[in-house]
Each structure stands twice: as structure tokens, then as C-alpha cells.
Structure 1
């Protein structure tokens, strides 16, 4: 029996989690996400920080009973990595969870994830992802192998070919539920803010491994994830940022020759393939989105390459 005044909660024994959520017009999805944390936090959550990237839908204008919630209003879209770093600046718990607003934790998800990270077998695990399911209960196959010049072009190329029903070591788990040791996150400098959105989590996982830590997928803990999220609202911009991040990642992690090859394929071969596919589908909207994304990519290429050079060893 606990002594009077003694706190035997998990958080009191060094198992607390700080949660960071980046919001951009997530609507009711954010409310559902936060309510899931309040309901299934299992006494583990020290704080929840929502970084609002200039939302205009009022999605960040509320409070959730039972949560130590702080909302940082950026006033503009800072991008995902920069917003995550801002939200994590005051993290004091041993573990830091980056959670998408279109995700929601399910019962025992946090307690199982945190308990696993406290086991001896997890001593050298720096990042943990868990099983993600959709509205139909189907399991997302979201873990990926480390990106290479041959697999940079789609998530499907990097996907790990297993059923995601069993736990195992992987190279990367997507940022929808990304649990990382806080001191490790800080020692690596957080997310690389040159990645406005896309591949910033892939880059961080690669750096985690390069620093001698492992990335693990835990099937015994589950969360809901809608997928797509608010990026569905701006498909042309989404494509532009995905292409931009690909170029940045290539010059940061590949040899110079391989990075040039990836960039050349992105700039010269892929546009024709995408436009051809759009024409075959008779989708003028997709044609306009593709032209808009690549037009911006070509215009911004000098600045992108300057940013990429800053990341080379």
C-alpha cells in the first residue's frame, strides 16, 4: 500500500510522455485525437502541445478536460518539422510522442508502448511505432525500409513486406505515431527544418540509426489513423513539397552521383509519366495539379539546391 502522499502513477516513476501534435485545419479530427488522449492516456501524459499552423477553421479553439493542454498559435504554416521542433522545445518527459491530428490512441496503446520502452530489450531502441488501423479495422502496412536511390519515388517502393501483425525491428515507422526518446531527439537536433513536409520523419529515422539506435514496430499496441489527413486539401502543394523533399533527402543521404540521378529523374522523367497517367484517366484536374507542382519545383530549384548543399557532410 502506498504511503500517504506518495505518487505511484507511471508518470511519477519516469515513464511520462510529452505529446506534440501539429494542426492545420484538421477540424473534428483534432478534437477526436485529443479526446482519445484524455480517455486513454493511462496517467502517462505529462503535457500535450498543439502547434497550430495558421488554421482558419477554428479547429484549435477549444479545451479538453483531463489534459494538460497548451496551444501554440504560429500564425502561419511553419511546416511540419519546424512546428514539431517548436512544440517539443519544452519537453521534459523521458519520451516524446509525435501524433498526427488524424490519429487517435486506442485503449492501452500508450501504456503498452511506454512499458515496452522500459524493458531491457528496448535499451537501444530510439524510436517506436505501433499498429495503425483504419475505420474498417484494417491494419496499415506503414513501416518502410531505409530509402535508397532506387526506392525514393514512392512509399510503396520502400514498404516492408510483412503483415504488421507481429512486432519486429524496422528501418522506419511513419510519423502518425512516432515515439522517440526525448534526449535522443534533442541530441540529433530534432527534425531537419529544411523539409517543410514529407520525408522529415524518414530523415530522422535514418539519423537515429546512424547514431547507433534501433527503430522498432510494436504490434501489441494500436491506434487509429485515417491517413491522408489535411494534406488532401491541397494536392498540388502536396506534390510540390513531396518532390522538393525528395531532392533534399537525396543530397543529404546519398552519394553526389546518386543524388543527381534522383534529381534528374524527378525533374525530367517523372513529369511526363505523371501527365501521361492523368491524360489516360481523363483528369484535367490532375493535369493542372501536376503542371502547377512541377512549375513551382522548376522555379524554386536553385533555392532547393542551395538548401541541399547545406546538408552535405
Structure 2
């Protein structure tokens, strides 16, 4: 029986050298019949020239292809360009493997994810264990957001977390293969049949919540999502977004959050989730002020959340440019 057709999708935004490093790691781990597509998300910085030069030097033929987007519609829109590609012989892929441009698979990662989906025909997604260059694991397996989860995550208080433990959005990482609600897209294998049924990323999300929405739609259609810690990648994180230098959450985070809740649960639920997050954040800020602790929310977060929920654009300074290939969770 022939190996399944796997198309690896790498999205670049102004990190060409890092993307090439990720491409080399992927190529070294890909099954023989797999192919790699690098999508440049309208970087406008000469990235495609660098990719074309590397492709010529590597001389991999159809195993490596380059696609230039004519606009930067965000993470999901860029990924959708890759997900629209076919194999070089014109056939449709059986699986897609999304890899961030600053993520580097360990040997055997791709095959492990592929084999897991092969053993679980009901599974639409299988994602890796992700660690930083320092070896510290990144939290990449989650529960779907809820009103209770919004309040718990904002409060950050032990008794509240224990009371609402079943709603915690980011629980401790499983130690073995585990079915979860959704996973971050740094390194995830996707069954093509799942996307054929539910569609690809909702491009209304510029950045954040696009995977949450995709996997929520899949869950409603009966597909499962798995975290597979035996498949491992190193992930630097925040290279394209500049998130580590953010002084304030950008407006599109608030917009994506609201769009997710309205789309998934309706306006009344979205309003309740906003109130829960706002109330929890305000109580967290008050507790920090009374105890002298440093708040864990970004600067002006509670005020910006309140303004956005009231239909006022948050006054956000220093937000990154509208473009990204990678993402991290606040």
C-alpha cells in the first residue's frame, strides 16, 4: 500500500533565514513521498528572492515549492493558501502538516504524527510536544474557552482554579497521547478529509483563535484532536509577531476573541464571557495592588478589554505590524 500523500506547509512573514532553517528540519524528517510548500505572506522584504536562491541551490525539484501571497490576510489566510495546494502530480494530499517558521522537528516527529492519525481514523488533528530552545515545554494543548474558563484564567487564584478546574483552558500537559479540545498550530498534522468536510481557517481571524475555531468546528462534526508528546519539536516563538516586546495587547487579539465567542456561542454568551474575563481581570489587578505583586496581565489590559467590549477601539500603542507567520498564546 502506497504511503499517504503529505503536504508540509510553512508560512513565512519577514523571517526568511529562520524559515529556511525550519524547512531544512522538515525536509530531513519528511517521508520520502511528502512535499513542502513555503508560502510567503506578502512580506515585502525580499524573502522570496532568498527562497528562490535556496531552492535553486538545494535542487529538490517538486519536493519543494514556493508560493507568493499577494496580500497579508493574517495567519489563517496565509495557511489557507498552502492548504489549497495539491501535490506536484496534481493529486490531492491525504494529510497536511502545518509547521511554524520558527519550529524545528526532532527526528521522527512527522512520522509519529502521521502514524497516530493512521491508528485513529476518527482523528482530524494530531499535534506535537513543543519545547523552547531552553528545553522548557510550551503549553500547546487546551480546552475550549468558556465563561467559567475566562473567569478562572483572569483571576489566577488557587481556590478559584480548584473550584473551576474542569474549565481551565490551559491544563497541565498530558504525559501520553491524549484527546484534547484544541492545539496550537506550531506543529500539527491535519487529515485532509476533515478540512474537506468543515472547511479551512476562518480568515476573519487575523491572528489568534483561528485554530480554536477550526478545531471547534471539527469537534462539532465528530472529528477528534490529539496531543502526541512522542512527536517533538523545538519552537523559538514570537519571531514574526514580536510578541515578547509587546507592551500592550494588540486590537486584533480582542477582535479575534470576540469573533470566536460570537460565532461559536452567540452574542449573549459572548457578552457573558467578556464580563467574566473583565471581572476576573479587575479582581486580579485589585489583588495585586493590595499585595504589592506585579499583575500578570499586559499593561492597560483590563481597560482595553472593557473598551473593546463596549465597542470602543482600545488605545493600543506599540502593537506589531499587521502580519505574522507564527503565533503564541498570552
**Which structure 1 residue ranges, 5 or more long, are not aligned?**
1-11, 302-313
Question: For each residue in 1:71-115, what CA deviation from the matched residue of structure 2 results, as whole angstroms up to 9, or x when unmatched?
Answer: 222243211111111211123210011111011111011112112
Rate the CA distance shift 1:152–1:84 in 2: closer, same or farther, 3 A: farther
Query: In the aligned structure 2, how far is the partner of 1:253 from the partner of 1:206?
Result: 8
**Structure 1 residues 124-161: Cα deviation after superposition (integer angstroms, max 9, x where no partner):** 11110111121122222320012112324769951122
Judge conservation of contact 1:14–1:94 (CA < 8 Å) in 2: no
Identify the match of residue 74 of structure 1 among 65, 69, 72. 69
Give the conservation status (yes or no) of the 8 Å contact 2:247–2:299. Answer: no
1:239 aligns with 2:250: yes
In 2, distance between residues paired with 1:23 and 1:198?
17
1:132 aligns with 2:127: no
Counterparts of 1:295 and 1:148, CA distance in 2: 21
Change (3 A) 1:300 1:106: same
Secondary structure of the corresponding residue to residue 116 of structure 1:
helix
**TM-score, normalisation: structure 1:** 0.77
The equivalences for 1:75-114 within 5 A come to 75-91=70-86, 92-114=92-114
For residues 27-38 of structure 1, what are the structure 2 equivalents within 5 Å?
A: 27-38=16-27
Q: Is the 8 A contact 2:254 2:308 kept in 1?
A: no
Q: Which residue of 2 aligns with 1:54?
A: 42
Report the CA distance between 1:281 and its aligned residue. Answer: 9.7
- Alignment partners' CA distance in 2, 1:40 and 1:251: 40
* Paired position in structure 1 for 2:117: 117
2:19 aligns to what SS in structure 1? helix
Instruction: State the Cα distance separating 1:295 from its structure 2 match.
Output: 7.5
The residue that corresponds to 1:166 in the other structure is 176
Q: Matches of 1:251 and 1:219 in 2, distance apart?
A: 32
CA distance in 2, matches of 1:17, 1:96: 6
Please list every run of at least 4 consecutive aligned residues from structure 1 whose deviation after the TM superposition is greater than 3 angstroms: 56-60, 152-157, 233-238, 263-274, 286-301
Higher RCO (Cα < 8 Å, 6 or more apart): 2
SS in structure 2 opposite 1:135? Answer: coil
Distance in 1, matches of 2:236 and 2:250, equals 19
| Structure 1 residue 20: Cα displacement | 1.5
Q: Identify the residue that residue 188 of structure 1 maps to in structure 2.
A: 198
Unaligned runs of 5+ in 2: 87-91, 157-167, 315-330
**Residues 261-289 of structure 1: CA deviation (Å, up to 9, x unaligned):** 23456689869988x989x999xxx7589
DSSP 3-state at the match of 1:260: helix
Aligned residues: 283
Aligned to 1:176: 186
- Alignment counterpart, residue 43 of structure 1, candidates 32, 35, 38: 32
Q: For residue 118 of structure 1, give the secondary structure of its aligned residue in structure 2.
A: helix
How far apart, CA to CA, are the structure 1 residues paired with 2:235 and 2:44? 23
Distance 2:204 2:253 in 1: 12
Displacement of 1:14 in angstroms is 3.8
Where 1:242 maps in the other structure, the secondary structure is helix
- Distance change >3 Å, CA 76–CA 40, structure 1 → 2: same
| Counterpart secondary structure, 1:229 | coil
TM-score scaled by length of structure 2: 0.73
Distance 1:214 1:259, change over 3 A: same
Shift of 1:296: 8.3
In structure 2, relative to structure 1, the CA distance for the partners of 1:267 and 1:293 (3 Å cut) is: closer
1:260-275 to structure 2, matched below 5 A, reads 260-264=271-275
2:145 corresponds to which residue?
147
